[in-house]
Amino acid sequence: MTTDVRRLALQVLLPGFSGTTLPDDYRALLEEGLGGICYFGSNTADGADATAALSAAIRAANPRAVIAVDEEGGDVSRLHTRTPSPVLGAAALGAIDDLDLTEAVGRWVGAELAAVGVTLDLAPDADVNSDPDNPVIGTRSFGTDPEAVAGHVAAWTRGLQSTGVAACAKHFPGHGDTATDSHLDLPRIDVDADTLATRELVPFDAAVEAGTRAVMTSHIVVPALDPHRPATLSPVVLAMLRDVLAFDGVIVSDALDMAGASADRGIPEASVLALAAGCDLLCIGPDKPASLVEEVVDAVVAAVADGRLDRDRLADAAARVAVMELPAGDAAGPPDRVRQTEAAVGALLVEGTLPDLTGAVIVSVETTANIAVGEVAWGLGPDLTVDPAAPDGVPDDVPLVVQVRDAHRRPEVLALLDRLAVGRSVVVVEWGWPGPYAGGLARICTRGSSGPGVAAVVEVLREAGWTR
């Protein structure tokens, strides 16, 4: 009995290890039946060929293993960290509102992932970004209108899954109306049930209708549904996904090492509670030792033994994971570069009149990205990168193009822009969410960083005289 439950417990786990090669202890776990591996930046750092080789090693150890990654395009990319993603992100696609283009982008992302052996993409983001101060969603969202977001979520899902890579709409029941990052704390969405139904749930319903193979939970408390437990650990919230939205696929937990899930209880206990609530595949988080996987397995086995977790619930989760993988799909060529750049230009929001930028210097204001985005290349290659608290070395005799991310929610960055604006021409390029700005400087809002977005900004700056 214990051996059988251990096997089931392994099958529902999706941890991430450190490095670009398969560790021996993880190989042994995969051979024993570990459900899969989630890639993070440390796993893909050596490029596509090395990632494909790593996937081959994982599947050799367990041919049915899920290989997952967060590849949303735009700001969130694990395959493209040294240069901006080659495809537009969600906010820019939502601003253009061309569903065919959104589907083509999803198809290209899927083709790239299939080529390196990934079988599950933890995307698209189905959150409605109704709070402009949201520190973790922002440009990952297709926008603020639920119906429009729903259309793009469905289109991106169709494109991705046409390549044989499963989609995972996230973060159920909606992370868009929060001003707290669930990586660091436990957010709350204080809305009534009607608002939840007509705003947060609309894109998830569209994803289910589009056939998404998976839905990811969020570590947020929705008092209108369950005032005590985050969604990942709430049978009430997850039952709504099954019973109201009629979703019959795999419910994937957001990473259980996040504070919103495990800060007060630890990852093993959070894993037991997530399974009992209705999650099927547990994302554990990046760079985890195999010993932690064993701790989680032991906790699940003990919970079944003492009756806290029903064995049939565990078996049902494992069975859902076993049939999630899609058959191989069609190969896809890259989306038209010119079409994407033209779309990116159309997505730009240009406020004010750009001054003469002849001889302008590109200055990037360094701020810490949220954990979901991570440390990746963004924006134009700068001539100078500065700390907002100590902007040393900024020349005072040339125009400046100042690159920022989410400046509207960073007082120190707004203060820096005020200081830099004295006595010179300055243009602000906002690569984050286009939040309110009353500083008086001309501003270009890109709705997220990407290769096409960079090309679009370069085009606008050149029209104002910038050359490099």
- pLDDT reported for residue 35: 98
Mean pLDDT of 330-341: 80
Instruction: Dump pLDDT digits (tens) for 181-228.
Output: 556 667 788 889 999 999 999 999 999 999 999 999 999 999 999 999
The whole-angstrom separation of Cα 238 and Cα 279 is 8
Burial 187-226 (b: 16+ CB within 10 A, else e): bbbebeeeebbebbbbbbbbbbebebbbbbbbbbbbebbb
Percent of the chain residues topping a pLDDT of 90: 84
Asked if residue 260 has pLDDT above 80, the reply is no
Q: What is the pTM of this model?
A: 0.96
- At residue 240 the predicted structure's pLDDT band, cuts being 50, 70 and 90, is very high
Decide: helix, strand or coil at residue 74. coil
Confidence (pLDDT) at 185: 60
Q: Any catalytic annotation for residue 152?
A: no
Cβ atoms of residues 173 and 201 within 8 Å: yes
Least confident range from 24-33, 137-146, 266-275, 326-335: namely 326-335
User: Across the chain, what does the average pLDDT equal?
Assistant: 94
Where along the chain do its domains lie?
A: 2-322, 337-463
Q: How confident is the model at residue 52 (pLDDT cuts 50, 70, 90)?
A: very high
From the list 121, 125, 205, 254, the catalytic residue is 254
Which region among 26-40, 134-148, 172-186, 356-370 has the lowest average model confidence (pLDDT)?
172-186
254 has catalytic annotation: yes
For 147-189, how does the pLDDT look when each residue is reduced to its tens digit (9 = 90+)? 999 999 999 999 999 999 999 999 999 988 776 655 666 778 8
For residue 436, what are its two tokens?
Answer: 């309110």
Of 182 and 242, more confident:
242
Q: What is the pLDDT of residue 244?
A: 95
What is the mean predicted confidence (pLDDT) over 93-99?
97
Write down the residue that tokens 């992932």 correspond to: 113
The CATH architecture of the domain made up of 2-322 is: Alpha-Beta Barrel (3.20)
d(CA 318, CA 323): 9
Distance CA 12, CA 102 (A): 31
User: Which regions of 40-125 does DSSP assign to beta strands (E)?
Assistant: 66-69, 120-121
Average pLDDT for 242-271: 92
Strand, coil or helix: 236: helix
Bridge partners for 188 per DSSP: 221
pLDDT tens for residues 337-356? Answer: 888 999 999 999 999 999 99
- Average pLDDT in the 379-406 region? 93
